[in-house]
Amino acid sequence: MEEATQMVCQNLGAPVCMLSVADEQHEILKAATGLTQFGLMNPLSQSRQLALGDSFAPYILDSGQALLIDDIADYPALASTLLAQYGVMAYAGVPLKSSCGHCIGVFAIMDFIPRRFTLQEKTFL
């Protein structure tokens, strides 16, 4: 799984990629590339989990749909999340679904500058 996140970062030119599963309160990172971009000893790198309120995952988990944010400044409700505080400005996340169709996690890329995600990038995810 770590190799998959590395490949996605390379192919899409994204500094951060995370694959996570969710429980009732947390997004738990199963694989990630680029977490040191948030700071060498940041809490996310250490614990490899985020409170759901600190991430963008609830929007994907609740809807079962992809979430594409070209510029976080256009979404004031997300400004207080830990990811926004780390400087994430662009985010593309897709749901990970079980064989029964339940959304169990998220596969996402992030950037520190606003960016418009292309159709090719959306399809790649």
pTM of the complete model: 0.90
Sheet holding 90-97, edge to edge: 49-51, 26-33, 16-22, 103-111, 90-97, 67-69
pLDDT, tens digit, 9 for 90 and up, residues 52-73:
888 899 999 999 999 999 999 9
pLDDT at 36 over 90: no
* Rounded Cα distance, 100 and 96, in Å: 11
List of domains in the chain: 2-124 (3.30.450.40)
Give the pLDDT band (50/70/90) at residue 38: confident
Q: What is the pLDDT of residues 101-110, one digit of tens each?
A: 899 999 999 9
